[in-house]
Every structure is written in structure tokens, then in C-alpha cells.
Copies of this chain bind each other. A is one copy, B any other.
Amino acid sequence: VRAALVDAGLELARDGGPDAVVLREVTRRVGVVPNTAYRHFADRAALLAAVREAALGQLAQRMAEAMARVRARTPARRALLRMGALGRTYLDFARTEPGLFEMAFAATDHLAPTAGGAGEPRPLDYVNAALDGLVDAGLLAPERRPNLQYPIWATVHGVAVLLRGPLRTLSDRDKSQLEAQTLAFIEASLT
């Protein structure tokens, strides 16, 4: 039932974002009485944290698939392609699953279980791996590497957020172009 509750929450978040993940509605979808949720979660915030984790997992899975799809002869080329694929996957996710995207990055009261360490890979892990690949291939100076994942993440995340916010009135064409331009902006500053 716990898994069913999280799934239902994910479904609610899919269209409506975090605010749509309402405890009573979640239990309703599972076909269970509201207070049943308290068997599995301390309170609504705990349920929300679990759903957020699941949403993040969806994004992580897409990134993993995208990484697996990259085929390239040389390590250098592969590192570059991976970098681009990561950005595109991230932006695709934000565009096609806006509710889950919002859910994945919503601020939850419960502090994230980041402490664990040995969990499933997170989006940032893939960026780190791709950057290390660039360094190994000699495309990126090692001294520029430290913490470089953050500005890159910020840039991609930022364009995703802006396109859903102040720039949401742009045409689809302009949005796609802006996404491409932003990824090019990152690539330009990497090489």
C-alpha cells in the first residue's frame, strides 16, 4: 500500500505539481481510508518527501537511459555527446513532465536523505561523470574541473525554470531555440 500511495502521489504530481499531492486524494486513489496514510508516513510532509524522491528517480532513470543510448567511437566524442544528451534529457523532462519536474525540485520540510550516499544515482552524478569524461579525454583543463558541475546544472535548470515561468509565453519554436542556444552556451564555455 505504501508503494501504491507513492504511485498515486506521483500521478497527482504529474498534473498539478506538489500542491496537487493532497493526502486525502492520494488515499482516495488507492481506495483506502485517509488515515491509512499515517500507517506509512508520519504526516503529509513525509508523504510529500517520498513522492519527491520518486519524481527525482524518474528523472534519474531518463538520464540513465540517455547515457546508455550514447554511442561514439572515441572517448572524447562520447564525453561530449553525453554532456549534450544530459542537458537535452533534463530539458525534455521539464517540458514534457512539468508537474513531476516541479515535484522533483520542490522544497520539502523533511530534509533530503542525501546523507545516505550509497543510494541510486542522482542527476548531478551523471553531470559529474560526464565532466570527468571530458577531463579524461583532454577536452577540459583539469584545473577548471572542481565544482564545475554546479554552474552547468544551474544553467540548464535555470532555463528549464524560466521557460515554465516568465518565458512561458514564448512560442514552442522560440523555446526550443532557447534550449539549444543555452546548451551551446554551456558547450562554448567548456571548450
Contact = CB atoms under 8 A, between A and B. Distances in A.
Interface of A: 19, 105-107, 111-112, 114, 147-148, 150-151, 153-159, 161-162, 164-169, 177-178, 181-182, 185-186, 188-189
- How many copies of this chain does the complex contain? 2
B154 A158 contact: yes
Contacts of A168: 107
A189 B166 CA distance: 24
B185 A151 contact: yes
A19 B19 CA distance: 10
29 contacts: A105-B165, A105-B166, A107-B164, A107-B165, A111-B169, A112-B166, A114-B169, A147-B178, A150-B159, A150-B181, A150-B182, A151-B155, A151-B182, A151-B185, A151-B186, A153-B158, A153-B162, A154-B158, A154-B162, A154-B182, A155-B155, A155-B158, A157-B162, A158-B158, A158-B159, A158-B161, A161-B161, A185-B189, A189-B189
A159 B165 contact: no
Interface of A: prevailing SS: helix
A182 B154 CA distance: 8
A8 B114 CA distance: 37
Contacts of A153: 158, 162
A107 B177 CA distance: 22
B150 A178 contact: yes
Contacts of A19: 19
A126 to B, nearest CB: 14
A21 B166 CA distance: 20
A155 B151 CA distance: 7
Nearest to A170: B150
A156, A159, A186 — most chain B CB neighbours (10 Å)? A159
